Amino acid sequence: MDDKSLLREIDDGETKTLELKETLPPKSEKYVKTLIAFANSAGGKLIVGVRNEDRKIVGIANASQVADTIANALSDLCEPLLAPRIRVAQFEDREIVIAEVQPGPSVPYHFKGKDVGKGTYVRVGATTRMADETALKELLLRGSSQSYDEQVCPEEPFLEKEAQLLCDEINRRRTDDGRREATIRNLENWGLVKLIDGKRAPARALILLTRNSYRFARIQCAQFKGTDRVVFLDRREYGGPLYEQVDEAVQFVLRNIRLGAEIKGLYRKDEYELPLEAIREAIVNAVVHRNLQSNSCVQVALFDDRLEVTSPGALFGGITIEQALEGATALRNPLIAEVFMQMDLFESWGTGLRRIKDACEEAGLPEPEFREIGNMFRVNIFRRAQEGAMDEDVLSHGKGQAVPLETFAKLNDNERLALRLAAEEGRVTSASLVEKAGVSKPTASRVLKNLVDEGLLVWHGKNKTDPFQYYGPPAKL
């Protein structure tokens, strides 16, 4: 890094990868724990000789001696051995010391002579904290080159029928690109099925992609009134196989955002206000990269001004947001990622954040926001102000029609879909609702009858056997 880049970094102040000290603390533990935290996280720099309050370079005396002190303290106090790059730099006749640590391969780094659970530190935002139980478990797995999703589930039986259904789902979702049909042997090769004492046993990934008995391996979806988490308009929680959760969460978002039409030449093209690719990519990434040892669910929250997708677990493997945008990648759950790739839901090229950004730019939307918030990673995709704003009293659902907000919030997914179809096409039938919602004909008929009873739809036809009967929006609500 050249001097100009370093000065810009200093001017931005302390971050996940930068700590500023005016002088070297007399107690070496105070700065060694920061260097340990850098090694356990995304790496970073400790700079001595810069005042944090105003980012002023004040310099230090005996800079070379300070550099030696840092090196000796690390050697004496840290294990495994940590070898930072320590140098003296000069700015306007003032000397500073820069101790730079790369993300370490032998995590967890910790204080010598202390229990790993009490001597391990991580970086959370611009702070150094003792690793909590979840962070420590993940560091121990990383240090042993293992992932949570590849571990065997001794308490869960291997069910061949279940594994075959997963293979069938992979084959159904694949594009026709010449790949052979997935088989249980493939699941073994990918690591989802283990052979122990000659018997098949499921890895955690197989359980998560089939019966999914994990309490927090779910997606919580909500639509809120306004721009904060106060008033719910709609909420759902999706369990089951992870790929089905993705499908359901994407559909939840699509049901609750606006669908417009653009005329191109002789053809009409329906487009959602938020690009489908960005929505799907944000949710897929949240599921694939989440920390499965966290007692939190993936959350998908829709506000008047943005879509917010939050995943438990900061970026994995010592990667920063800037590096991720440049294509750097590390897989927290490689087996789940493999199956999602086989289903054509995911790419392992580190293009996820860039694709979200490009999709928003192409749609003319504001630049999306990528943030690490403590031990979570969040993507914000912003809506256009005029399309995202929600009236205080009504929620628009079509051409000139409006449903009272309180009423709309109480409708189920099928009822909302029926209203949208009626508003966008001018009519909805039992057959069209069966096709669009994937429900039975009796269910579709019951949904439409309920909406008529509520005064939200009007039935049109000569009699109940009329083949041309349909339901349309009322003239006035």
Question: Residue ranges of the domains in the chain?
Answer: 3-143, 148-208, 220-388, 394-472
Mean pLDDT of 448-454: 92
Distance from C-alpha of 48 to C-alpha of 67, rounded to nearest angstrom: 9
Mean pLDDT of 270-284: 95
CATH number of the 220-388 domain: 3.30.565.60
**CA distance between the termini of the chain:** 64
Which pLDDT tens digit goes with each residue over 22-63?
999 999 999 999 999 999 999 999 999 999 999 999 999 999
pLDDT of 391 above 80: no
Sign of CA dihedral 311, 316, 318, 321: negative
Distance from C-alpha of 186 to C-alpha of 60, rounded to nearest angstrom: 61
pLDDT at residue 264, rounded to an integer? 63
Which pLDDT tens digit goes with each residue over 17-28?
999 999 999 999
pLDDT at residue 400, rounded to an integer? 41
Q: Which two structure tokens, joined as six digits, stand for 42?
A: 């995304």
pLDDT of 69 above 90: yes
The CA-based angle 71-76-81, given to 5 degrees, is 75
pLDDT at residue 415, rounded to an integer? 86
Sequence-separated (6 or more) residues with CB below 8 Å from residue 158: 193, 199, 200, 201, 202, 206
pLDDT at residue 388, rounded to an integer? 39
Q: How many CB atoms lie within 10 A of CB 267?
A: 7
Helical H segments across 109-198, by residue range: 116-119, 133-143, 160-173, 184-190
Yes or no: domain 394-472 corresponds to CATH 3.10.580.10? no
pLDDT at residue 393, rounded to an integer? 37
Which pLDDT tens digit goes with each residue over 161-208?
999 999 999 999 998 777 889 999 999 999 999 999 999 999 999 999
pLDDT of 406 above 90: no
Yes or no: domain 3-143 corresponds to CATH 3.30.950.30? yes
pTM score, two decimals? 0.80
For 224, the enclosing helix (H) or strand (E) is strand 219-225
pLDDT at residue 436, rounded to an integer? 80
Which pLDDT tens digit goes with each residue over 411-432?
887 888 888 888 877 889 998 8
pLDDT of 315 above 90: yes
pLDDT of 396 above 50: no
Distance from C-alpha of 139 to C-alpha of 146, rounded to nearest angstrom: 10
How far is Cα of residue 153 from the mean position of the Cα atoms in its chain?
25
Amino acid identity, position 409: A
Backbone phi, psi, residue 154, to 5°? -65, -25
Q: Which two structure tokens, joined as six digits, stand for 406?
A: 């309180």
pLDDT-derived band at 348 (thresholds 50, 70, 90) equals confident
Which pLDDT tens digit goes with each residue over 291-307?
999 999 999 999 999 99
Q: How many CB atoms lie within 10 A of CB 222?
A: 19
